[in-house]
């Protein structure tokens, strides 16, 4: 399986603060990845590093198996749409097209113009005068017109209303359907991501909690109701969350070995529940660390 992005023990610190620690990820080619986590978890930092804007403090990152982020090859094969789709507000749409065209080896002008026309975005209009949704569409169109092998999007949906969101995702999915592009997009909510993404990376507090396909995540996590001590015998189970009750506890577990799963009375649960359990766990750990420091 070829990977489009892989990192080993990636860490990034600035101004004394550790923004990312010990991140090891592996994303297969063609995946549509949801990079999920609370605000400040390190999603933007991770994307900046993959895009080549920031150097890592420690660890290794590789794109397309052997390309270094930030190198000329990676810049030509990777498109990045940062948060709030940064574009030059006083520039007209057609000038933005011309600018992008002149700064890239590959640029599909026809695609860009056709797409903008279909979206009914006037070429002569200044970008600052467009709505948030339209600006996001312009940024996305320009990024896709470069025919990247990897498309990175930082919180592309956060400032969009539901119609704009739907249109944005439609355009994105159509491009994924017609090319072999891999996509990583970050979001602080998991709503809607399930139907669009097939891979999930969960980052909390600078650490990667989950990095796997949605199917495998749902398959490898189960809910079990049993007495608290009952699970201790199983060495290949990791308890993610435990809700204590009077007679028994509900556990969310991660099963490493699928065979042992069949020995337990467990049932599957939704992706949303799994992610929330990890988020809650990380929150508890952080609260614990904070109280220890005091």
Partner 1 sequence: MNSTFHADASQQYLPQIRLRNVVFGILVKEKTRIFLMFAYLFMNSVVIYWLSANLIEKTIYNIYTNPTILLYFRLLVISIPLIIGLLIGVPLLSTEYESGTYRFLFTQGVGRWRFVRTIFGVYLVFISLFSVMTASSINHFFTIQQQAGPIQIWSFGVFISNPIIIIPLTLTTFVAGVFFGTLMQRVIPGIAATILFVLMLALGLQVSLEKSVAFFVQRLNGSQRDPLLAYYGFVASNDSRYLFRFQMTFALSLAILSLILALGSLRALNSGGLLHRKLRP
Partner 2 sequence: MHLVYSLSMSINKAARAANQALISVISFSLDLQSGVPTYLQLVQQVEAALSLGYLVEGDQLPTVKDVVSSVAINPNTVLKAYRELESRGIAEGRPGVGTFIIASPHVITSDKMSALRKSLISGWLREAKKAGLSQAAIVALFNSAIGEIASPNKTSKNS
Which positions lie near partner 1, rule CB under 8 A? 14-15, 19, 40, 42, 44-45, 48, 51-57, 67-73, 75-76, 78-80, 82-84, 86-91, 95, 98-106, 139, 146
**Interface pick for partner 2 out of 71, 117, 131, 170 (rule CB under 8 A):** 170
Q: Burial of 10 by CB count in 10 Å (0-12 exposed, 13-18 middle, 19+ buried)?
A: buried
Count each helix (H run) and each strand (E run) in the chain, helices first: 10, 13
- Shortest Cβ distance from residue 40 to partner 2 (Å)? 28
Q: How far is the CB of 53 from partner 1 (least distance, A)?
A: 6
Token code pair at residue 193: 């991501």
Q: Are 57 and 13 in contact (CB under 8 A)?
A: yes
- Concatenate the DSSP letters of all residues of 54-88 into one string: S--SEEEEEETTTBPTTSHHHHHHEEEE-TT----
Could you give the string, one character per residue 218-257, with x where binding to partner 2 holds by CB under 8 A and - elsewhere? -x--------------------------------------
Least separation in angstroms between CB 82 and partner 1? 4
Cβ neighbours, 10 Å, residue 161: 11
Q: Return d(Cα 33, Cα 278) in angstroms, integer.
A: 18
Least distance in Å: CB of 63 to partner 1? 11
* 176 lies in the site for partner 2, by CB under 8 A: yes
Distances (CA, A) of 207 to 6, 191, 203: 15, 22, 5
Positions in 201-220 near partner 2 (CB under 8 A): 215, 219
Nearer to partner 2, 71 or 270 (CB): 270
Within a 10 A sphere around the Cβ of 248, how many other Cβ atoms? 14
What are the beta bridge partners of residue 187?
A: 36
Nearer to partner 2, 235 or 262 (CB): 262
Measuring CA to CA, which residue among 54, 68, 69, 61 is closest to residue 10? 61
CB of residue 180 vs partner 1: minimum separation in angstroms?
A: 18
Which of 56/169 has CB closer to partner 1?
56
Binding residues vs partner 2 (CB under 8 A): 32, 166, 169-174, 176-178, 192, 194-198, 215, 219, 258, 261-262, 265-268, 270
């Amino acid at each position: 399986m070829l990977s489009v992005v892989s990192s080993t023990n990636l860490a990034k610190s600035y101004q004394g603060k550790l923004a990312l620690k010990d991140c090891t990820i592996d994303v297969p080619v063609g995946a549509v990845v949801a990079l999920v986590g609370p605000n400040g978890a390190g999603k933007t930092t991770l994307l900046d590093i993959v895009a080549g804007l920031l150097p890592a403090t420690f660890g290794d990152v590789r794109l397309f198996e052997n390309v270094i982020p930030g190198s000329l090859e990676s810049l030509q094969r990777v498109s990045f749409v940062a948060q709030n789709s940064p574009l030059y507000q006083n520039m007209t749409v057609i000038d933005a097209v011309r600018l992008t065209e002149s700064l890239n080896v590959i640029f599909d002008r026809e695609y860009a113009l056709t797409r903008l026309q279909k979206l009914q975005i006037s070429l002569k209009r200044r970008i600052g005068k467009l709505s948030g949704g339209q600006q996001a569409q312009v940024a996305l169109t320009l990024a896709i017109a470069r025919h990247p092998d990897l498309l990175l999007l930082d919180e592309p949906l956060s400032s969009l209303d539901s119609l704009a969101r739907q249109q944005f995702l439609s355009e994105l999915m159509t491009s994924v359907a017609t090319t072999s592009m891999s996509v990583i997009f970050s979001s602080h909510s998991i709503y809607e991501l399930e139907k669009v993404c097939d891979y999930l990376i969960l980052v909390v507090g600078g650490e990667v909690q989950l990095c796997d396909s949605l199917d495998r995540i749902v398959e490898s996590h189960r809910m079990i109701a049993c007495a608290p001590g009952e699970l201790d015998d199983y060495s290949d189970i990791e308890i993610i969350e435990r809700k204590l009750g009077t007679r028994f506890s509900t556990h969310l577990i991660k099963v490493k070995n699928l065979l042992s799963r069949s020995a337990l009375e467990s049932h599957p649960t939704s992706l949303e529940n799994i992610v929330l359990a990890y988020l809650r766990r990380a929150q508890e750990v952080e609260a614990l660390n904070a109280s220890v420091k005091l």
